[in-house]
Amino acid sequence: MLVACNKVDKTVETVLPVEDSHIFHATIDKGGDVTRTMLSEDLEFLWNEEDEISLFRASTYNREYVFDGMDESESGDFYEINSPEERGVVFSEKPMDRNYAVYPYMSSKHVALSSSAVLTIDLPDVQTYRENSVGPGANVMTAVTEDADSRNLVFKNVCGYLKIKLYGDDVVLQSVTITSQGGEKLSGRAKIPLVYGKVSAIEMQTSKTNDYVTIRSEEGITLGSTKETATAFWFVIPPTTFSSGFTLSATGFYGGTFSKSAPLKFSVERNKYYDIAALRVSLNDGTMGVGVSSWESTNTFSGTTD
């Protein structure tokens, strides 16, 4: 059963023999928080086949690793692909005393690790819609091994979640965007100090950041028709205190736009989700759910973290 404030973090660690330095074993820290790449029915995230991570293998060089397991796995092994050695690429790196990893994999244009173990990363401003879950690649996680020889990665979430539920008769949307009214940064460039045994804290930067984040679907998103069947949009955002609330904007799949402000002061914490009451979307005409024009006037925005 989903509750408004949910945690998921129980650490399960599997010790593997260090026979192949290119194989790393990944588990998820579930002791009180929400983690992994795809939500299950009990609000846990699961690894999926071909999930990829960036791994800094005892150095500052960004390597690409892929999950060697089946969909909806709780743990499994990652192995390297496209290694610079195999490709004959000349590269520079600085040695580190631990291994560092981040999900999802990003090119070095969007993720980098300093010699002081500070991760610079671009949080996506557009996330892909996934039914009853966060979008693929949207849930940023990090892991740090005990030392350079360890091959056990225990991933932790670094973001929080804003769950918005929408419903309406014959409404098909292409995208939904939230924009902070107080200027809080919701996507873009961030720095994350990585420390073994501690939870990473996101520091949003002053430049190359955005005060918005969008969930989008190229196929269209058909909303549920009742409050009980409302469609959930899971926004992954850095831990944020909304000082003046946010504005929600929606774009109809066949055209039409809508914008509505929610003047709420609330906080989204790391690994917790803030649940907004289901809201009805009305159409500006009666054909094919083409346009989104107004919320039902009796609806109000509300949420809870407990």
- C-alpha 298/C-alpha 282 separation (Å) is 12
- C-alpha 144/C-alpha 193 separation (Å) is 11
Tens-digit pLDDT profile for residues 201-222: 899 999 999 999 999 999 999 9
* Structural domain boundaries enclosing 222: 23-304
The CA distances from residue 124 to 104, 186, 187, in Å, are 11, 9, 6
Tens-digit pLDDT profile for residues 119-128: 999 999 999 9
- C-alpha 202/C-alpha 159 separation (Å) is 8
Task: Grade residue 161 by pLDDT with cuts at 50, 70 and 90.
Answer: very high
pLDDT in the model for residue 31: 56
Domain for residue 14, yes or no? no
Domain for residue 81, yes or no? yes
* Mean pLDDT computed over every residue of the chain: 82
90-101 mean pLDDT:
90
Domain for residue 100, yes or no? yes
Domain for residue 7, yes or no? no
Q: Which of the residue ranges 65-69, 117-121, 184-188 would you say has the lowest mean pLDDT?
A: 65-69
pLDDT in the model for residue 5: 33
Domain for residue 8, yes or no? no
Predicted TM-score of the model (pTM): 0.83
- C-alpha 287/C-alpha 141 separation (Å) is 42
Q: How many domains does the chain have?
A: 1
Domain for residue 156, yes or no? yes
Of 167, 274, 275, residue with least CA distance to 226? 167
DSSP per-residue string spanning the chain: ---SS----B--------S-TTEEEEEE-BSSS--SSSB-TTS-B-B-TT-EEEEE-SBS--EEEEEES-TTBSSEEEEEES-HHHHT------B-SS-EEEES---TTTEEE-TTSEEEEEE-SEEE-BTTBPPTTTS-EEEE-SSTT--EEEEEE--EEEEEEEE-TT-EEEEEEEEESS----EEEEEEE--TTS----EEEEEEEESEEEEEEEEEEEPBSSSTTPEEEEEEE-SEEESS-EEEEEEETTS-EEEEEE---EEE-TT-EEEEEEEEEEESSSSTT--EEEE-TT----EE--
Domain for residue 182, yes or no? yes
Domain for residue 10, yes or no? no
